[in-house]
Amino acid sequence: MLVRQVIAIALLATLPLLAAARSAVPELNGSYEKDCAPNDAPAFIIVLPAPAQNAEFWLKANAPLYQIAGYWPHSTELGVIPGAASILLCRKSPKLNCDKALNGSFTVTGKPGELITGRLEASFSGGSSLAFHFHAMPAQRAAPLVCG
């Protein structure tokens, strides 16, 4: 009986540690939408405001929005390569200034038109490595995006 009580107490003592470890990766909330890739090819963008960085993460891929779910490794040469993805950290003040990740990836689960979830991992110049979980809803536009 005493052994069971000790085990129960030990398990209860570790629950807060497990919860803290699980929430150690910060979460970001943003939006996503169809985008125009270089040369007006199909593309999508996920915009994640990052208050701690006083910026936004822009996760972009040269793929149609219906292909948003999946693993997207960062490419330093986004260009017009179909399926290529990039991770940018953009500051809008005093003017738009984006830093391209040195490496990284993002993973997306969900369907277009619904809440999507994912994970972002990236390294930037200066040695900063960041990791986030994210949630994004479809962007609300006043007018449809027209490429071309």
Q: Which two tokens stand for residue 111?
A: 């369907």
**Which residues of the chain, if any, have pLDDT below 70?**
1-23, 38-39, 78-80, 144, 148
Using CA atoms, how far apart are residues 114 and 28, in angstroms rounded to an integer?
A: 17
Dihedrals phi, psi of 85, to nearest 5 degrees: -130, 155
Residue 115 has a pLDDT of 97
Supply the pLDDT for residue 31.
96
Confidence (pLDDT) at 130: 92
At 20 the pLDDT is 41
- Counting DSSP H helices and E strands in the chain, the numbers are 1, 9
Domain edges within the chain: 26-138
pLDDT digits (tens, 9 = 90+) for 53-87: 889 999 999 899 999 999 999 987 756 677 889 99
Q: Are 87 and 59 in contact (CB under 8 A)?
A: yes
